[in-house]
Structure 1
């Protein structure tokens, strides 16, 4: 689950923002850079959960873990902001090139060191990619590399080949070569992803199953290194003096507080315990703006909230496409957005959000797929589904079970809304179980749910594929039991096509299958952003397609100036 940012309105030049939605960039503190640095360079931020799933780059799947990895690790590239534009910039690799047929990519690595002083070498990138695709690792994101076409990746991930046959090699310590089985139109956009973070085999083997679960199980090659991680409390980072670009890093320390309760987080921002936080709640927005102490950044983000249906539901109800579609059609998405996100964001009648481009054009402006186009009556459709399942068609007797992706106020608002909407618009009863984040993810992985809500997905890169390949039958990232060979074939064709018009046609047909014919999910709204940062916080960046999804506030170039004034 990720959530990228397009922050369209900047109310202070002290914050550097992107001007396009969802994914890449480079730049330092060109805005607000004239301010004198405070002696105390300590930034305090929040992470809106009680814990991160894992910091193992091969296994992490949520935006919160990626948020931490973004600040502590260096992939081949970084997404940054230069001159108001989000771009892909060299990071772990200082340069790269591709062959004329697009099948061979050669990366020339920087002179960089791990936090323990040992050199970062090409064979560590090779090891990381092999490990991520190894069937024994069981990486939920392996499908991303398979889709990109890294040679033999599919066979290796299925256990049919050994990982040393993967199309990656290290001719020398500073050169990485990646061979693809087919051209990939979006390959360069993937290079900041956590799979392209090098890994040290000695550290992986030493930590074993605990790798990524504590600060001392990892070494770091990014701007900061972790000194401690306490579940339910905080993560502490300090400047990494071994980092190749340490001269650009001005902060000495970053403390990340776990705060899964919105009121706790907002009170912490108001009191100055933390320096940056998001809120959509009108009363807090007004309160913060009246103080005159904050810079506010608002806008839409290229992410979609959705209802996830277990297409292999053991209770049978959600195995039926008509019942799934009835639920989707019954939703008043304007009310949904107003109730759960205070009208900050946009309704989503399709799966790929407006922020995503195909080539150099907006995908949504070209793809006229929409749930709202259906004229079918949701109640009658639900009854037809019940009849097909051989069940009683009395809607008042139907009970559906939903899991919400959190226990805080925001998720309880959503749960209450859905309970009332299902009763009013469908005449059925919805029972909502509010789950802690880790358990929610585990239930999803185990297909141990009927319906899930409160989850969001956003782009890992700026191409429709980042929203579409996750629903292929063999994709393991988001599990809902959906399987459609026609859908799979369309996505597989889009992966290998160079012609964007052909890719567009594939995506349109696949998206229509996903949200209309099969109704495998029900998109609801695209999230809005409302970030508040104290005015003494300078030089932060907010790339939409950075590595960390919804937590894309980049601290590499941040600094503190004038806090005590």
Structure 2
């Protein structure tokens, strides 16, 4: 999610508001906590796909797992800096060649009172890479270089040959096949959450779908999950750091409709929500009741093209690029993102660093902005290459939007009008619930997709680049390029940041210009509102939950009427 020292991750782009406590994690607070410690939040979908750490792919499930499970590390904000801090492990070290990582685990327990042990981390990593698990995210561990990870994931080696071991109950050892410049930054990711084999075996295919199929080793535990309604969480009294957890209860409300969510915030039904809509931000700011967190985040919205399109249109790179160039990104951000964020003429967003530098500053020459190609003529060239009629008025594209609420319908309408105006083609939009949208993506059952974003898992360009390698992209959009793969594979093993930078720049240019496998649109901005009585919230943008959710381990209520 980063060979920098353990606590060196600094986000200069993010503005952390006064909601975040100075020195969070301390057991002393300058204000008095209310007797009733109940926090109400929203999740802007109707349901999470799964809470199985090995199988979840979306930020919403990661949001819940972040608060209910303890990975090896956590991302936290301390004194205005985002840092990686020990969590499930109390310390770790790496060998001089960078190939062996040794973790000393804390004394921690699961919510049922059983001990958290090193073999449970071993089991979790083996299960996540096991070909039988079919984890869509397994490529992250393969790319990090865990020894034999690729062979295990392809089913040519058994999981017990993976380069992970537990010499004793409190020691975890991970062996890599090559040094990984960002390995430390991965340690808060859900694959590094331990798992209990007895619970997995008991629940079978239902593991992660209901509260009683899981046990929890994090700050909170789930007492109920009601699809389309809410999740109820309570403080986990078995958690190793429970003294620093102030909240007794957290209600996470599923609210996939923006108006419902914002009305709930204004009425006090929920305590925290995010919105970039000007009419709401102005209203909330003028009320004087809220603190606001704003800033750039490492997330990019994009149009996703099925390069194996059964209708053939989007199998052509010129057509894909024509669609990308036809977008007026400034207008797109203004209309859909309400001018909160920055336009994206490339794939890796501003907040991401390479080494200690901002990647985008070092790769400013990789951009769509300088293209002189005419989108209509380019589209016609693509049609001609496919042996199709070049009359653009006869072309019909189908877009799948990642939601059914007002915001997604607004985006669908915008794209319909934009493509009619700028390309002369007809766009039909199919609005899907989030779970179905993800399933269609996995099955490549779409032509084009919009309304989604990719948020960084760690602070390195690799988190945006390795997802388009052949093995990873096969369940995203079917893209495959040997030239692209070779560049990313070299970047994985390079210790020289200048050579990694060169690899990334060449690969990014292939991705957005030569092959136009996707069309980046804008880099999302953060605009979160919380009642002033909510204290101690954090927004570490490289946390496991993604960029727009809050971290409430240290949150508490003070002064609520």
**Normalised by the shorter chain, which TM-score bucket?**
over 0.9
Aligned residue in 2 for 1:501: 498
The answer as to 2:177 corresponding to 1:181 is: yes
Q: How does 1:456-535 map to 2 (within 5 A)?
A: 456-475=453-472, 479-535=476-532
Q: Partners in 2 of 1:142 and 1:16 — Cα distance? A: 35
Root-mean-square deviation over aligned CA pairs: 1.6
The answer as to 2:435 corresponding to 1:438 is: yes
Q: TM-score, normalised by structure 1?
A: 0.96
The answer as to 2:419 corresponding to 1:414 is: no
Q: Of the candidates 120, 133, 140, which is equivalent to residue 136 of structure 2?
A: 140
The answer as to 2:370 corresponding to 1:365 is: no
Structure 1 position 15, deviation (Å): 2.8
8 Å Cα contact 1:141-1:477 kept in structure 2: no
Q: Partners in 2 of 1:380 and 1:476 — Cα distance? A: 29
Pick closer, same or farther for the CA change 1:87–1:200 going to 2, 3 Å.
same
Q: Of the candidates 535, 557, 562, which is equivalent to residue 559 of structure 2?
A: 562
The DSSP-based 3-state class of the residue aligned with 1:303 is: strand
8 Å Cα contact 2:457-2:546 kept in structure 1: yes
Structure 1 position 409, deviation (Å): 1.1
Structure 1 position 16, deviation (Å): 4.5
Q: Of the candidates 184, 191, 207, which is equivalent to residue 187 of structure 2?
A: 191
Structure 1 position 290, deviation (Å): 1.7
Q: How does 1:141-540 map to 2 (within 5 A)?
A: 141-367=137-363, 368-475=365-472, 479-540=476-537
Q: Partners in 2 of 1:549 and 1:190 — Cα distance? A: 13
Aligned residue in 1 for 2:93: 97
Structure 1 position 6, deviation (Å): 7.7
Q: Partners in 1 of 2:54 and 2:308 — Cα distance? A: 27
Q: TM-score, normalised by structure 2?
A: 0.97
8 Å Cα contact 1:29-1:540 kept in structure 2: no
Give 4+ residue runs of structure 1 displaced > 4 Å after superposition.
none
Q: Partners in 1 of 2:16 and 2:405 — Cα distance? A: 29
Q: Partners in 1 of 2:93 and 2:514 — Cα distance? A: 42
Q: Partners in 2 of 1:235 and 1:14 — Cα distance? A: 24
8 Å Cα contact 1:305-1:456 kept in structure 2: yes
Structure 1 position 468, deviation (Å): 0.1
Aligned residue in 2 for 1:21: none
8 Å Cα contact 2:473-2:480 kept in structure 1: no
The DSSP-based 3-state class of the residue aligned with 2:261 is: helix
Unaligned runs of 5+ in 2: 2-10
Q: Partners in 2 of 1:198 and 1:460 — Cα distance? A: 18
Unaligned runs of 5+ in 1: 18-25
Alignment coverage as a number of residue pairs: 552
Structure 1 position 27, deviation (Å): 3.4
Summarize deviations over 1:370-408 as a string: whole Å, max 9, x none: 011110100000000000000000000000000000011
Q: How does 1:5-44 map to 2 (within 5 A)?
A: 8-10=14-16, 13-16=18-21, 27-28=24-25, 33-44=29-40
